[in-house]
Amino acid sequence: MKSTTPLAAATLATAMLAGVATAAEPPLPETVSEAKTRFEAHNIDRLFPESPRYPYPPANVRGESLRELLAGTVSVSRDTGFYEPVRDLQIAYTGRDGQAVTCQLAGKFGAQMFRRWSWAPGRERAEDGTVRPIVLRQPRTAGPREGLWSLLHDGETGEVVWHVRDPGVFGGTFSSSWVQRHSGHLQERLPAATWTLCPDFPSAEELGVGVNHAQTATSYDRLVAQDPGRRIHRPGLVSEDVAEKGVSHSTWAQAIVEGLADADGRALVGWTGWPDTRAFVFYAPLAAVWAFEARDPDGAAGERVRSVSALSGHGIASARGGVVWQGWPALFPRYDMATERHPLAAQHDRLIGGTLAREIAGLPAGTRFEASGAVTYPDDADRESAWKCGAAGSVPELEPATWQSHGDVIEIVPSGRSSGTRVWLDDLVAALEDDGMRKPQAELTASDEIECLRSALGRARARIRELAANLEEVKAENALLEALLKEAMKQ
């Protein structure tokens, strides 16, 4: 069983950035009438209808009022199309439980499409700092992800115009703009034509909604001519001032990170395919994003990590330094969330709060892994007892080191190096102390002692080679300085 939460985000694909208004872009329509007039004027000489492009979502109902307006209503409309023939009829029931069902007849081709969605009010921030209300739809059945919508409502006539965000490349440059997709009205009951077009559409009894038996036509104009329907008139919800002003980038980013942290290490799948259609986990103590292959948040629990990224105020960058996703999204994200914390989050909690009970991967008992990324060794007085080979008088020098999480694997990186020793997280967690008690080192056997001495001899030889190489470098530098000095004395 999954839960859905209006979190705020981050992890792993191309950002859907809002378009930037220019002098050539039309101002946003503020009413249904204005949107229709603009659309007709834009298409006066076009063979196929095409919507004007708007940089921000046209809307005239405030975000806090969208649920009040839409919940329990039926939207009946024609698809105004976008570089395609006009579609005849689209019916959408928006439930009070956050679920929606749509039925669409696709124009001259006659294709019928029945789909289920989850829906919720949403928000989008423009580059000028204004935040506008939108409607989010997350598909629950196969089909296109047209998940970002904005709404213009006429409170006197019940008419509505729906715009959808349409990211893509136009004129050779990346663009993300809002285009008109549906024009129609809101009414109380489902048209009888609903089941003619989509026989699998849920029954009116199942949805808890009435049926308008007079509306049997399968095109919008003919259906309205039969019966205009009991329209939804909510003039009190229409506003000329729906945009929040002056929301700074830092405030927006902080809200997203706080929302991710609220997930408490549980796997998430972003609505509308943002930032990816696959599951990811944000682990707040390390500001890390772990990505998985699963498309379902609960399905990520048994998977290995696909990729690891670091989250900052500027976006998400891979651990190797390459940018996976840069810049905060215009969209305030919403997610499906796993019911339980991901096992990796619980293991990292233990690792950060624990102490090694035995030697592993060249680290002595008593080693700790700090959330800052530092590796902390035991005090000098404890080092001999912390090493298996301590009883043989072989205690290696410990280099300062940091640790990095790669999800399933932990990398111990000595100071001054770009890479280090990788250890399975499972093995490290298994080596931690239980209830704060360090496990005593087993007594050395003869073969153990020989192995310890061989290890110490190997470290000593490596150190000699390192010092010899340093000595040769010093000799070479001295020879160069002597040559330069002689040359200078000749002059």
The two structure tokens encoding residue 205:
């009894």
Q: Of 177, 165, 150, 160, nearest to 54 (Cα)? A: 177
What DSSP state is assigned to residue 272? G
What is residue 455's predicted lDDT score, i.e. its pLDDT?
67
Q: Which residue has the tokens 């007079």?
A: 214
Nearest-angstrom CA–CA distance, 433 and 439: 7
Token pair listed for 219: 């095109």
Alpha helices in 44-198 (DSSP H): 63-70, 193-197
Q: Which residues pair with 232 in a beta bridge?
A: none
Please tell me the total number of residues recorded for the chain in this structure: 491
- In the structure encoding, which two tokens stand for residue 444, read together? 């050395």
pTM (two decimals): 0.76
Phi, psi torsion values for 488, nearest 5 degrees: -70, -35
**111 touches 143 (CB < 8 A):** no
pLDDT in tens, the chain (491 residues): 444 444 433 333 333 333 333 345 668 999 999 999 999 999 898 887 888 999 999 999 999 999 999 999 999 999 886 545 455 789 999 999 999 999 987 655 555 678 899 999 999 998 889 999 999 999 898 877 777 899 999 999 999 999 998 865 444 444 578 999 899 999 999 999 999 989 999 999 999 999 999 999 988 999 999 999 999 999 999 999 999 988 888 888 888 888 889 999 999 998 987 777 889 999 999 989 999 999 999 999 989 998 888 876 666 655 444 444 545 678 888 999 999 999 999 999 999 989 998 888 888 888 999 999 999 988 754 454 444 555 444 555 678 899 999 999 999 998 888 888 999 999 999 999 764 444 455 565 777 667 667 766 766 777 788 788 888 888 888 888 888 888 888 77
Is residue 152 within 8 Å of residue 238, measured between CB atoms?
Answer: no
C-beta atoms surrounding 476 within 10 Å: 10
Q: Kindly state the helix (H) or strand (E) to which residue 382 belongs, with its residue range.
A: helix 380-386
**In 82-208, where does DSSP find H-type helix?**
193-197, 204-207
Two tokens at 456?
């110490």
Query: Looking at this protein, which amino acid is placed at residue 252?
Result: W
- CA 488 vs CA 244, 362, 476: distances in Å: 72, 51, 18
Tell me which residue of 305, 349, 281, 308 sits closest to 9, measured CA to CA.
Answer: 281
From start to end of 349-400, where are the E strands?
Answer: 368-369, 375-376
Sequence-distant (≥ 6) Cβ neighbours of residue 90 within 8 angstroms: 75, 76, 77, 78, 79, 102, 103, 104, 105, 182, 184
DSSP letter, residue 271:
G
* Domain definitions of the chain by residue range: 21-54+60-237, 249-347, 354-430, 448-491
Q: How far apart are CA 275 and CA 314, in angstroms?
A: 15
> What's the confidence (pLDDT) of residue 199?
92
Q: Are strands 266-270 and 335-341 parallel, antiparallel or unpaired?
A: antiparallel
Q: Would you state the structure tokens that stand for residue 384, as one six-digit string?
A: 């001999």
Evaluated on CA atoms 101, 142, 166, 270, the torsion sign reads positive
**How high is the pLDDT of residue 465?**
82
Bridge partners, residue 161, by sequence: 152, 183
> What is the pLDDT at residue 79?
84
Q: Which two tokens stand for residue 61?
A: 């109902």
Q: Do 205 and 190 contact (CB within 8 A), yes or no? A: no
pLDDT of residue 131: 94
pLDDT value for 186: 98
CB burial class (10 A; 0-12, 13-18, 19+) of residue 59?
A: buried
Environment class of 169 (CB within 10 Å of its CB; exposed 0-12, middle 13-18, buried 19+): exposed
* Residue 46 phi, psi (nearest 5): -105, 140
3-state SS, residue 222: helix
Q: Is the peptide bond before 275 cis (omega within 30 degrees of 0)?
A: yes
pLDDT of 442: 55
pLDDT for the residue numbered 72 = 96
